[in-house]
Chains A and B, each alone.
Chain A
Amino acid sequence: DVKVTQSSRYLVKRTGEKVFLECVQDMDHENMFWYRQDPGLGLRLIYFSYDVKMKEKGDIPEGYSVSREKKERFSLILESASTNQTSMYLCASSFRGSNQPQHFGDGTRLSIL
């Protein structure tokens, strides 16, 4: 079974802090994605990566950066956390190709105080 592991289920941070969310997958997937889920909105793509050291902006990249130094690990960084970044963050991975399903982690519920 594919396993996508996110480092924390719940996280509380303060405004202005630098926050790291980690995601690891064990299926040798080329693609990795970071989404956020807010009430009344669909999953929105923040950043994605289709190879090591490669990254592409998604629909809402402002205030975030990412790092993919190894194929299995994709990190989301909040450079200076703000209260409007309080959200549920989901990581996903997939093989390359349009007919490949994405496999999701359990999510991190992040609160910025």
Chain B
Amino acid sequence: ILNVEQSPQSLHVQEGDSTNFTCSFPSSNFYALHWYRWETAKSPEALFVMTLNGDEKKKGRISATLNTKEGYSYLYIKGSQPEDSATYLCASDTGTASKLTFGTGTRLQVTL
């Protein structure tokens, strides 16, 4: 994989559903994997920065895992709420002066 790829492109779930998305990245020259949440009319906000294979991080109902050997990360949201509606971006850092390569994002919409 030469680029950072995210799937699905968009997702529509009901309040209370749990959901997950995937980020695939080049496993060579890996330094870190970043997750950001970008709500409409706001600035992207950092969720997690993960560096070690097998890393798991959690922030409230959101968690993420990292597999650097096969080049993927999962983001999980447990019990989705309308305020979780946003675009979730992942980005790979290959160690070149903290330069990030971003995926195109997964757009999540949570309805009542």
Question: Do B43 and A98 have beta carbons less than 8 Å apart?
Answer: no
A43 to B104, CA, bound (A): 7
Residue of chain A at shortest CB distance from B32: A98
Residues of B within 8 A of A105 (CB): 43
Q: Are B34 and A107 in contact (CB under 8 A)?
A: no
Query: Is residue A74 contacting chain B, with contact meaning CB distance below 8 A?
Result: no
How many Å from the CB of A36 to the closest CB on chain B?
11
A56 & B97 in contact (Cβ 8 Å cutoff): yes
Check B44–A90 contact: CB distance below 8 A. yes
Residues of A48-70 at the interface with B, using a CB-CB cut-off of 8 Å, are 48, 50, 56, 58
Contacts of A103 in B (CB 8 A): 46
Instruction: Known contacts A98-B31, A100-B49, A104-B44; decide if A43 and B99 are in contact (CB<8 Å).
Output: no
Tell me the count of chain A residues lying within 8 A, CB to CB, of chain B.
Answer: 28
Given contacts A45-B100, A48-B99, A105-B43, contact A99 B32 (CB under 8 A): yes
Chain A residues, Cβ within 8 Å of B32? 98-99
Q: With both chains docked as a complex, state the minimum distance between the C-beta of A69 and any C-beta of chain B, in angstroms.
A: 19
Flag B69-112 by CB within 8 Å of A: 1 or 0 each. Answer: 00000000000000000000101010101111111110000000
A96 beta carbon closer than 8 Å to chain B: yes
Roughly how many angstroms separate A56 CA and B100 CA in the complex, as a whole number?
Answer: 13
A50 to B97, CA, bound (A): 7
A102 at the interface (CB under 8 A from B): yes
Contact of A96 among B49, B51, B98, B100 (CB under 8 A): B98
Known A90-B44, A98-B31, A102-B34; 18 more pairs at CB < 8 Å: A31-B98, A42-B89, A42-B105, A43-B91, A43-B100, A45-B99, A48-B98, A58-B99, A98-B32, A99-B49, A100-B98, A101-B34, A102-B36, A103-B46, A104-B43, A104-B44, A104-B45, A107-B43
Kindly list the 10 A-B residue pairs having the minimum CB-CB distance in the complex, ordered from nearest.
A101-B46, A42-B102, A98-B31, A104-B43, A43-B102, A98-B32, A42-B104, A104-B44, A106-B43, A98-B93
Q: Which residues of B contact A (CB under 8 A)?
A: 4, 31-32, 34, 36, 42-46, 49, 51, 89, 91, 93, 95, 97-105
